[in-house]
Every structure is written in structure tokens, then in C-alpha cells.
Amino acid sequence: MLKTAGTLVFVRREWRFLLFGLLLAFWSGPGQTFVISLVGGHIRAEFGLSHGSFGAIYTAATLVCAAMLWKAGPLVDRLPLRQFAFKVALIMIAAMVAFGFVQGPITLFFGIIAVRFMGQGMMNHISLTAMARRYEAERGRAIAIATFGYPIGEAVFPPVVVAMLTIMDWRFIWPVLAAVMAITLLPVMSRLIHHTKAQDGHGAEELAALDEDARHWTRAEMLRDRKFYMLAPTAMAPSAIFTGVFFHQVYLVTSKGWSFEWWSLSFSIFALAAVIGGIITGILVDRFRARRLVPYVLLPLSVGIYIFAVSTSEFYVAPIMFALGLGAGCLNPVLSSLWAELYGTRHLGAIRAVATVVMVFGSALGPVFMGWALDAEVTLSVIVYTSIALVIACALLAKIALMTR
């Protein structure tokens, strides 16, 4: 029986710190593909970019973000969480304002770097590292609850942005979102970060002073472990597939003759399914451990993209979004807990930075390869079946990796 009652007690007890993680995850949204892609058509039209060229700019910017995250990620191991998170949020707000003033492909490139690095990169990294480090027995649930911020963002941002596009230019959307973020996040952050007695994990300062028997790998040691390279594709593949689909979602949906307004509204179904997937998976992680669940975590994603490829009616938007949302909700509780289980928490910021770089690298590949495929008139079915084959290969590789010592 799933321990739902225990989860409710946990939430009531730890709601402040969980809300901190959730808010960071939510406000990483403007740096995520599902938001940027909503104005992608307007950007391409204004700057005269093809699917492939816009995808190439996006990919190049995302790869730069990955390189920056490699260096910046370990800062969460060394700097006080309260001050570090506040400064990152401030820079994200400034980046969102600046994105509304890009004037061409070059400034677009740097604008994407700014919002992607601070949003998808650092805010996401801080949120998940903090949850994985502060909790041990309830790590899966803590990560799952914090990552509710992603589906909430996926439910809120698309319809809001689409509605705003009907009354204002795409450039004005970004300063508006920045102002709302400043009002809703900055005033409450310092009140949510306190370390409570009920948190059985440790912050970076406490871990540095501990002489524990448990092994805590350094990043250099992890990079010499072959299991990491066998597990990395499982982190990379869903990021590439999700980002590729959502980056080109306007074109893919309209090319099927479906209403994009209905598609954007259906993100609420995606969000609900992500919450369900996160809750269930978080409880399962705490009960069975993440390493036992990794080979199966990509199954809902495969189902969702398969339905998307073969369906012909808008009726299927709801099950597509449900399957994709379920897949998205399953990922973070499993993968973020996995690195802590395998490599410890003392250097978790540095280790998660590598895993996040892998994920960001996947998100960089998705848009450009799918853009090239669309420019070459490769059918959606071929793209999807290739993606499913990749998912199966990742699952088998993860299974083999976790069978070895």
C-alpha cells in the first residue's frame, strides 16, 4: 500500500522548504522550451529564420549553457543556499527583461543563453539539489513535491502566454513575467529556506564537517565510473525528445490540422498527469529505491509520443498530454534520487551539475535535429519510431548498468 497518509504528514511538516523548491521549479518555466517555443513562430517570422536555423541557434545557446553549468553547478555545494538562490533569482528576472529587447539572431542567441542558463539550468539545479540533500528517508517525495512546480508552470504559462499574444507583442510578455516573478518569489524566499530538525539530510556546511562512514564520491571519481556513462543516455533521451517536440509544437500541431489553442489549454492535463506521476514515483522511490525504477521510467514518454504520431483526431490530445505528463512527472524523482543513492550527497551539487549538463545537452540536440528532419520533410512517424528505439536502448543500457557493481 502506498503511504499517502505519511506523505500528507510530511507535506504539513515541511511545507516551507518544499514550497521553496516548488517556486524555483515553477519560475524556471520562462527558461524552459515549452515557454520559449510559444513565441518561436513570432521570432522566426520577425528575424526570417527557418525551423532548422532557429533550432541551430537554440542548440548552440543551450550547449553554451551546459558548459557554463559545468563550472557553476558546484557553487551550490560551497555557497550559503539562501544568498545563492536569491542572487540567481535576481539574475533570472533581469534575463527575462533583457529577452524582450533582442534585435536579431546574435542578440537572440545571447538572450536564449541568459534565460536558459538561469532558468532551466541554475534554478532547476538549486531546487533539486536542495531537496535531495536535505532529505534522505523521504527524498523521493521531497523531489516529487518540489517538481510540482514544473507541471504547474506547464499548466499556467502556455494558456497565459497564448492569451497575452492576442493583446500584445511577444516582446512585452517577458518583462511582464519578470515583474510577476519578482513580486511572487523574492519576498518569500528567505522565510522558506530554514533548516528544520525533521530534515534528516544535511546542508553543504554540515556535510563538510561530518566524518561519515558512507562514501561520498567526488565529481572526478564519478567521471571514472562506467555506470554513469551507461545511465547518462536515460537522462539525455527524454530531454531531447520532450524539448524537440515542444520546441516545434506549433508546427507539429498545426500540421496535423489541430487547434493550437486547444493544444495549449490541454497542458492542464499534462500538468495533472505530471503531478500524479510525481506523487506515485516519489513514494515508490522511497519504498524501493530509484535504482530499481530507472529502466522503466521512460515507458510513459514512449506511449505518449506514439499516440501523437499515429492519431488523426483532436480527441487524442487529452491522452497524449496525459501520457507525456505522466512521463515528465516520473523523471525527476527517479533520476535526481539516483545520483544521491549512487554517489552520496557531500558533492551532490557538482555531481548533479554533470547530470544536468547531460540533460541540457540532450535538450540542445532535440530542437536542431528535429528541425533538420522537418526541413527535410521527414515524417513524424519516422521521427517517433526512431525516438522509441532510442528509449528502448536507454532502458536496456540502464538495466545492465545497475546489475553491475
Taking the domains of the chain in order of start, what are their residue ranges?
A: 16-189+216-403
Closest CA to 291 of 255, 256, 339: 339
Phi and psi at 19, nearest 5°, equal -65, -35
Mean pLDDT calculated for residue range 249-268: 82
Q: How confident is the model at residue 215 (pLDDT cuts 50, 70, 90)?
A: low
Contact between 281 and 334 (Cβ < 8 Å): yes
The C-alpha atoms of residue 341 and residue 354 are separated, in whole angstroms, by: 15
The residue count for the chain: 405
Contact between 116 and 57 (Cβ < 8 Å): no
To the nearest 10 degrees (0 to 180), the angle between helices 139-146 and 124-134 is 150
Contact between 148 and 46 (Cβ < 8 Å): no
Q: What angle do CA 299, 364, 76 make, to 5 degrees?
A: 90
pLDDT > 90: percent of the chain: 19
Taking domain 16-189+216-403, whether its CATH number is 1.20.1250.20 is answered by yes
The CA radius of gyration of the chain, in Å to the nearest whole number, is 20
Q: 539562501: which residue's cell?
A: 82
Closest CA to 112 of 243, 235, 218, 15: 243
* Model confidence at 33: pLDDT above 50: yes
pTM of the shown model = 0.75
Closest CA to 240 of 365, 144, 108: 365
Angstrom CA distances, 35 to 211, 349, 364, stand at: 44, 26, 15
Q: Give the type of residue at 361.
A: F
C-alpha cell at 346: 557531500
Closest CA to 25 of 159, 155, 191, 152: 152
Contact between 126 and 24 (Cβ < 8 Å): yes
Listed range (108-112, 188-192, 361-365) with the worst mean pLDDT:
361-365
Q: 530507472: which residue's cell?
A: 294
In this prediction, residue 260 carries a pLDDT of: 79
Q: How confident is the model at residue 198 (pLDDT cuts 50, 70, 90)?
A: low
pLDDT in tens, 60-93: 898 898 889 888 888 888 888 888 999 999 999 9
Of 106-110, 231-235, 249-253, which one has max mean pLDDT?
A: 106-110
Q: How confident is the model at residue 203 (pLDDT cuts 50, 70, 90)?
A: very low
The C-alpha atoms of residue 114 and residue 107 are separated, in whole angstroms, by: 11
The C-alpha atoms of residue 115 and residue 113 are separated, in whole angstroms, by: 6
Of 151-165, 176-190, 207-221, 258-272, which one has max mean pLDDT?
A: 176-190
C-alpha cell at 395: 532502458
Mean pLDDT calculated for residue range 313-325: 89
Closest CA to 301 of 399, 234, 354: 234
pLDDT in tens, 225-238: 888 899 988 888 88
